[in-house]
Every structure is written in C-alpha cells, then in structure tokens.
Amino acid sequence: MSQSRVIVTGIVQGVGFRPFVYRTAKKHGLNGYIRNAGNSVELLLDGDERNIQDFLERLRWEHPPMADIQGITVIDTETGERFEDFVILKSRGDTEGNSIIPPDIAVCKSCVKDIFDKTNRRYLYPFTVCMDCGPRFTTIETFPYDREKTTMRDFPMCRACAHEYLDVEDRKFRAEPTCCPDCGPEYELYRDEEKLDVPDPIKEAVDAIENGKIVAIKGVGGTHLVTRTTEDEPILKIRTILNRRYKPFAVMARDIDTAAKFAYINRIEKGLLESFRRPIVALRKRAGAGISGHIAPGLDNIGVMLPYSGIHHLLFYYSKEPAFVMTSANIPGEPMAINRDEILSLGAEYSLVHNIRIKNRCDDSVMKVVADREVFLRRSRGFVPRPVELRRESIKNILALGAELDVTACILRGRRAFLSQYVGNTTRLKTLEYLDDAIHNLMEINRVGSIDVVAVDLHPHFNTSRLGEELANRFDARFIRCQHHHAHIASLMAENGIDRIVGVASDGAGYGLDGTVWGGEVFAVENGIENDFERTGSLMPQFMPGGDLAVRYPSRMVAGILSRKYPADELRDVLIGIRGFRNEEEIDVVLRQIERRFNTPVTSSTGRVLDAISAVLGICHERTYEGEPALRLEAFASKGEAKVEIPVVIKEIDNRFVLDTTELLDAVLLAREKYRYEDIAASAQKALAEGLAEIAIQAARMRGIDSTGISGGVAYNDAIVRYMKEKALEEGFGFFTQNKAPCGDGGISLGQAALAAFNL
C-alpha cells in the first residue's frame, strides 16, 4: 500500500472538482481525503500504487468541464495513518498552491429545467444554481472558496439545502451559492422609490416593460436598464437617463433563433453566444428586423447576448417579447449601480432589486469577430479573474493600472497575468475609487500580499498615474512609466509569446516620447519585450486645431490635415462645403488657430484620420462617445467596395517611414465628385491599412524580422485588419493580433505589466 500527497492548482475551486475527485477515488478503490487548501486543492491518496497512478492519469484528462488544471504536484509520503474511506474535509486556510477563482458563468440547462419544473421546490426561483453554474467571482470575498468566504453567508441554508449541499451525489454538493425560496435572497419591486406590495415582483416588472416602461434590474454583477426593443420612446428616455445620445445599447434575445432574425450569425459568433460565458457579441444587423433604430444608431452591427441567469429566463417566461434592450446602468464614466439606493436614484420608472451583496461588480464582456478571429472589446463577466498565461515568468509581483479610458488593472505574478474586470474611464473620481477597490480585491482573492513594481502610463496627468504613485508609496514599490503604444505592442507580444516583431500600434491617442500625441505608430522590437522599441514609422503628424475640440468635432481635423496642402482661402471654401461647422465665423477662428499655431497640438493618430474621413463624407460631424466617427465610417464603408484609387504615399522623415495622410484625405475629398461615398469610404480604409502594412513590412525586411501585427483600438476594424493581414501574408510575413486581452486600452495594463516585469 502507498500514500501520496497531491497539490492541484488552476481553476479547481468552485467548479465541482471535489465531488468529481471523491467519486473518482471511490471508483479506484482509494481512501484518504480532499480539501481546499488556501488557493489550491490538497489530496491525500491511500491505496494500491497502481490505482493511485491510474487515478492521477484520469485526473489529468477527465476533470469537470469548468475546471482548468494547470499544475499537479505529487509527493510520496507516509503519514503512518491508514484511512478506511475517502472523505471531503473542511477547507484549510493557508496559502499553499496557486489556485484560481472561476468566473461567473451562465446558469446551466439542468438548473433552468428545475426553475420551470412545477414539482421542484425551486419552481420559478431566479437564484437557482448548482456546482456547474452561477456566480463565483462577484460573490467571493477571500480564499478559500467556501460559502462563509462569500456574500452568500448572509443567507444561512435551510435543512433541505444543507442536505443537498452535503450529499456528494447531488448536483448541488458544495455549491456555495446554493439556496431556495425558503432560505435564499429575493427580489423586491419599486416604483420610483416606493416599494410595491405585489405577489410576484418579477411578473409585475415584466408587465411594466411590456407597457413601454423602463425597469432597472439588479442581476449577477450589476444592474441593467431594461425595456422593449420595438418602441422608440423608452429607448430615447434611457438615453436621457444615462446621457448617452448615440452610444449603442446591447440587447438580450430570447434564444439563438430569435437573435438570427435581426442579426447575421456565423459559426464563431454562435459559439460565443451559446458558450457558458455568454458575452455580448457584436453582430451584423439584418435590414428590416423590426427593432428600433435608436438601439445602435448609425452602426451596421448590434450587441447581442443570450440569457445567462435565472432572472433573465424568467423575464422571457412572463413575456412575449423576442428581445429586450439591456444596457448597463451607469452614467458615462462611472461604475454600474449595485446597491438599492444607487439603483433607485437612476431615474428608471421601476426597479427590480435583490438583496445579495455584490462584492465585485462585473460588467458584461463584449466580443467581436475580426478577420475570422474572436477579440475582446471588453473582457469582464465570464472571463475575469481567469489569468492570461504568459510564456515567460516574472520574478517580481507587478501591478499595472492601464491608461485613462476603458481601464483594467493587471497583477502579474509568475507567469499569470490577472486582469481585473472592466473598470471604465478614470476621469471620474468614483471610477478611480472603483479601480482602487478592484485592485485590492484582485490581490485578496489571488493571495498577492505585496507589490514590487507599479507601472502606469507615460502621460503625466492621468488619474491612474497619480493613483499608481500612491500605491507605489503604499507598497514601498518601484514606480515606472510606460509609453502608451509601447505597452500596446508589449501586450500583443506577451499574449502571443513572441520576442521579435514589427508591430502597428493604431488608436486614437497616446502620449508620445516627443510630447506630441501619437496614435499611428510602427514599432520594431528585436530582442524581447525587455528591450526598448524603435519607432520605425508613423502616420504624418497633423495639426489638431482646438486640441480636444478637434476630437469632438472631426471637421477641425479636416482643417488641420488639409492645411498642409491648401492655402487658407481655398481651405475655407473646402470647409464650407463639408458642412461640419456651425457657421463661417467658426471656420475663420479655426484657420487663425492653425496659422498662429495657437492651441494646435500635433498628432499622428489613426483615429483622428478616420474621424476626418468620416467628416469629409458627411457621416459624422460630432463625436458623442469614444470612437463614434470611426465606427460610423466602418459601418458606412461596409456597404461599399474598395475600388476607388486612393494614393498610398510613404515618405522618409526624421529617419522613419511616414504615411502622408494629407494626400490620402485630399484624394477622398476629390473623389466625392465621381464616386459613391460608400465606395470612397471602403477605399480610404484600404489605403490607410495598406500604407501602415507597407511601412511595417519594409521595417521588418530591413531588420530580418519575420513577424508583424497590430494592436490598439483600430484593430477592431475588420476591414483594416483584413487588408493588413492579407498584405503581410502575401509578402511572407506572419501577422499577429490579440484574443486573450483586449487590443484596445483594456489590454494596456497587460503590456505595462510585461514591460515592467521583463525590464527588471
């Protein structure tokens, strides 16, 4: 007889791992125990040596579907004690091992069946979950993952639930969120701030929605504002409540067949929608689908998700609606509402609120298929806190805070990069406080006791930079700043495990090493992330008359870009013709700014060029949310063909290749007299993509580097990425994108962490 002590790490707590091991050990005739041990799982196996080996082999290949075993350590031991059975012991609270808390996942089919089984004691109970599904990350307070360490400790189990919880053969065995109507949380319905005494709050909420009302519904990780998809008035009212004039809203469809009636769904998108992670997926709209045009105005796609919790299934049970508008309940730049007072103050006509404390608020993840590959626009529910595994190991604990917009934090320990849930735009104090909380919660659940290095963006005025300095002082850690686009390329390299690349960092803005605004950069990195980059190319630096006003009003960028080619009097006529200014007096002010270089910074941003193209073609003259002109341009271009000749002029300036975007925009302007605007838009995107790809290829060829790639917000543009990829492959170069972390600013923290770790 032999004994072995086994430590298993990975996602092995809260995923049915202990009951699986229990049943497997019994089948192999083994005695001993299993228990959660800090942030790992510990086994003691007592039995025949061959049976132990067979058990371990099965463990590696046949674990529960939500489990992700990343390490099995086997230690031959001899306790001197013989075990007569295999048992599940109470968790141990030390920190041995390196386990990972699983993310919140969709309610499983078995639990949905229970909810609608009239003979089941959980009939129509929205909080029905089991070991295979339900909330995890949003409820956990600390390791090990046991009920008393989660917010579900507020709901002591009744006798029936306790029996299921302790029955190893039951699906709810050791399911920490398990509960029932007799002992679990409940929903309450409010009209304005008045609690309504109604027999079924959920049914009453659905009745309100069907009558055209707006209902704030507290869910798994936060709150949504919900209304019908077919009526304009309540959707416009939500826009007023949230101060979102045109920013697209997501919808939740009853099922995949319903979603296919108003959006095109390919194989990859279907897999994402139906996965247990249930993200929002950006899908191409179908014309004449019968839903309001105010849901995603000016765009050719719409964000769609399927029901992922009991409350969602019950909404559709009580309703005949095919889909609901379901958008995060937060004003721009601030976190989602999660407690009753916050929810009641939103301004919805009704509020459906449950009494579970949300420890870690977590917005919906958003994904899109770009160039036949799934990418994150927002990585949050369903994925966090699962880490991104890196090829190289950090010898220090690194904390990175991202940039300013679409912020996530990242903690790098060893090879594991733990990205926080989506936090948002840290220009607001509440969101900055949320970031601080998210960092400390991430440290707590991953047992990171100290931080050695804090990394932030190079921009001196970002709130994240100030918070980073405070945290560096708090942890007595080294403090470093990372150039924005270098962090983009580092993120691309880290998740793909590559050491040499010529990468395109293409986005709206980032603080450059020369003090100007960068955003269309080509960097060569020759010897690993730890080595500095060479700026081998960029877009032509252009004037931004009015600074931030040129971001909000793209016609100002048209003036700045074309001022390099047209004299002031001719340019004035051009600007009058594109109708992007309130009056001619404003045009004169802008022209004087350019002439005197007053409040006219310089930028090489790709985003600003796309904005200018959008303005010249009359697509968007005012940006009301991040990336709007470029997103509308992409939608508009999808209706055209790239058959208009747009010159790709590359010059050598200051020892780097520069794409002349003045010539590009002028060609767009002149093409309006001969071609369909949709074809011009498609052709302009292609010219921009081919210009950036050509610069990257030339730089790579000169340095003997065989890999190219793209990161940054422009990497969400399917047409641009496709053109760049095709050109790179035609020329014999590899082409890399990202699908483990967002390629936009939500992935900046991963790049910062990698830069900090591998520069030490």
pLDDT digits (tens, 9 = 90+) for 257-267: 999 999 999 99
Q: What are phi and psi of 202, to 5 degrees?
A: -70, -45
Nearest to 131 by CA among 240, 293, 16: 16
Give residue for tokens 């600007």.
575
Give the whole-angstrom CA distance, residue 420 versus residue 422: 6
Q: Once rounded to an integer, what is the mean pLDDT over residues 102-130?
A: 96
Whether 222 and 342 map to the same domain: the answer is yes
Q: Name residue 683's beta-bridge partners.
A: none
CATH number for the domain spanning 288: value is: 3.90.870.40
* Both structure tokens of 531: 């080595």
Q: Name residue 37's beta-bridge partners.
A: 40, 92
Whether 219 and 344 map to the same domain: the answer is yes
Give the whole-angstrom CA distance, residue 34 versus residue 13: 12
Give the whole-angstrom CA distance, residue 123 versus residue 177: 17
Q: Is 285 helix (H, G, I), strand (E, B) or coil?
A: strand
pLDDT digits (tens, 9 = 90+) for 654-664: 899 999 999 99
Whether 246 and 327 map to the same domain: the answer is yes
Give the whole-angstrom CA distance, residue 326 versus residue 311: 13
- Listed in sequence order, the residues at least 6 apart from 653 whose beta carbon sits closer than 8 Å to its beta carbon are none
Q: Once rounded to an integer, what is the mean pLDDT over residues 363-384?
A: 97
In a domain, 507, yes or no: no
DSSP-assigned states of every residue in 480-513: EEE-HHHHHHHHHHHHHT-S-EEEEEEEEEEE-T
List C-alpha distances in Å: 674 to 248, 318, 644: 33, 55, 10
List C-alpha distances in Å: 641 to 610, 682, 737: 17, 6, 25
Looking at the chain, how many residues does it have? 760
Residue type for position 374: E
More confident residue, 64 or 652: 652
* Both structure tokens of 444: 């707590």
Q: What are phi and psi of 448, to 5 degrees?
A: -95, 105
pLDDT of 94 above 60: no
Nearest to 558 by CA among 619, 503, 625, 475: 619
Number of domain units in the chain: 4
Percent of the chain scored above 90 by pLDDT? 86
Domain that holds residue 205: 187-366
Q: Please answer whether residues 431 and 334 qualify as being in contact, where contact means their C-beta atoms are separated by less than 8 angstroms.
A: yes
Residue type for position 682: A
Percent of the chain scored above 70 by pLDDT? 98
pLDDT of residue 39: 66
Residue type for position 96: E
Identify the active-site residue in 31, 36, 330, 441: 36
pLDDT of 98 above 70: no
Nearest to 556 by CA among 567, 544, 568: 544
Whether 338 and 429 map to the same domain: the answer is no
Q: Once rounded to an integer, what is the mean pLDDT over residues 50-78?
A: 86
pLDDT of residue 97: 45
Whether 388 and 425 map to the same domain: the answer is yes
Q: What are phi and psi of 479, to 5 degrees?
A: -120, 125
Angle, helices 49-61 vs 17-27, to 10°: value is: 140
pLDDT of 83 above 90: no
List C-alpha distances in Å: 746 to 296, 366, 420, 431, 506: 22, 11, 10, 14, 14
- Point out the domain boundary residue: 33, 67, 88: 88
In a domain, 257, yes or no: yes
Calculate the dihedral angle through the C-alpha atoms of 552, 553, 558, 560, rounding to the nearest 10 degrees.
Answer: -60
What confidence tier does 168 reach under pLDDT thresholds 50, 70, 90?
confident
Burial status of residue 651 (CB atoms within 10 A of its CB: 0-12, 13-18, 19 or more): exposed
pLDDT of 99 above 80: no
Mean pLDDT, the chain, whole residue set? 94
CATH number for the domain spanning 56: value is: 3.30.70.100
What confidence tier does 367 reach under pLDDT thresholds 50, 70, 90?
very high
Residue type for position 360: N
Burial status of residue 119 (CB atoms within 10 A of its CB: 0-12, 13-18, 19 or more): exposed
pLDDT of residue 120: 98
Q: Please answer whether residues 104 and 134 qualify as being in contact, where contact means their C-beta atoms are separated by less than 8 angstroms.
A: yes
What confidence tier does 577 reach under pLDDT thresholds 50, 70, 90?
very high
Q: What are phi and psi of 707, to 5 degrees?
A: -120, 135
* Both structure tokens of 424: 């948002």
Give the whole-angstrom CA distance, residue 85 versus residue 83: 6
- Point out the domain boundary residue: 325, 344, 366: 366
- In this predicted structure, which of 21-35, 83-97, 173-187, 605-619 has the lowest mean pLDDT? 83-97
Whether 397 and 432 map to the same domain: the answer is yes
Nearest to 513 by CA among 530, 495, 533, 494: 533
Give the whole-angstrom CA distance, residue 490 versus residue 758: 10
Q: Once rounded to an integer, what is the mean pLDDT over residues 620-633?
A: 96
Q: Is 284 an active-site residue?
A: no
In a domain, 748, yes or no: yes
List C-alpha distances in Å: 750 to 213, 382, 438, 474, 491: 41, 19, 15, 22, 5
List C-alpha distances in Å: 247 to 282, 303, 719: 14, 11, 22
Q: What are phi and psi of 8, to 5 degrees?
A: -115, 130
More confident residue, 182 or 168: 182
Whether 261 and 379 map to the same domain: the answer is no
Q: Name residue 411's beta-bridge partners.
A: 399, 418
**Omega before residue 156 within 30° of 0, cis:** no
Give the whole-angstrom CA distance, residue 502 versus residue 727: 14
Q: Please answer whether residues 337 and 224 qualify as being in contact, where contact means their C-beta atoms are separated by less than 8 angstroms.
A: no
pLDDT of 95 above 50: no
Whether 404 and 288 map to the same domain: the answer is no
Q: Name residue 216's beta-bridge partners.
A: 225, 351
Whether 314 and 421 map to the same domain: the answer is no
- Point out the domain boundary residue: 322, 343, 366: 366
Give the whole-angstrom CA distance, residue 681 versus residue 616: 10
Give residue for tokens 């976190």.
335
* Both structure tokens of 112: 């949905």
pLDDT of 128 above 70: yes
pLDDT digits (tens, 9 = 90+) for 700-733: 999 999 999 999 999 999 999 999 999 999 999 9
In a domain, 155, yes or no: no
In a domain, 464, yes or no: yes
In a domain, 650, yes or no: no
Burial status of residue 652 (CB atoms within 10 A of its CB: 0-12, 13-18, 19 or more): exposed
Other Cβ atoms less than 10 A from the Cβ of 18: the count is 24
Rounded (to 5) percent helix, strand, coil in the chain: 35, 25, 40
pLDDT of 172 above 80: yes
In a domain, 127, yes or no: no
Whether 309 and 436 map to the same domain: the answer is no
Whether 472 and 566 map to the same domain: the answer is no
Q: Once rounded to an integer, what is the mean pLDDT over residues 115-129?
A: 98
Q: What are phi and psi of 375, to 5 degrees?
A: -135, 155
DSSP-assigned states of every residue in 182-207: TTS--EEEEETTEEP--S-HHHHHHH
Q: Please answer whether residues 489 and 495 qualify as being in contact, where contact means their C-beta atoms are separated by less than 8 angstroms.
A: no
In a domain, 396, yes or no: yes
Give residue for tokens 């230690």.
75
Q: Is 18 an active-site residue?
A: yes
Burial status of residue 672 (CB atoms within 10 A of its CB: 0-12, 13-18, 19 or more): middle
pLDDT of 330 above 90: no
Q: Which DSSP state fits 387?
A: P
Whether 212 and 351 map to the same domain: the answer is yes
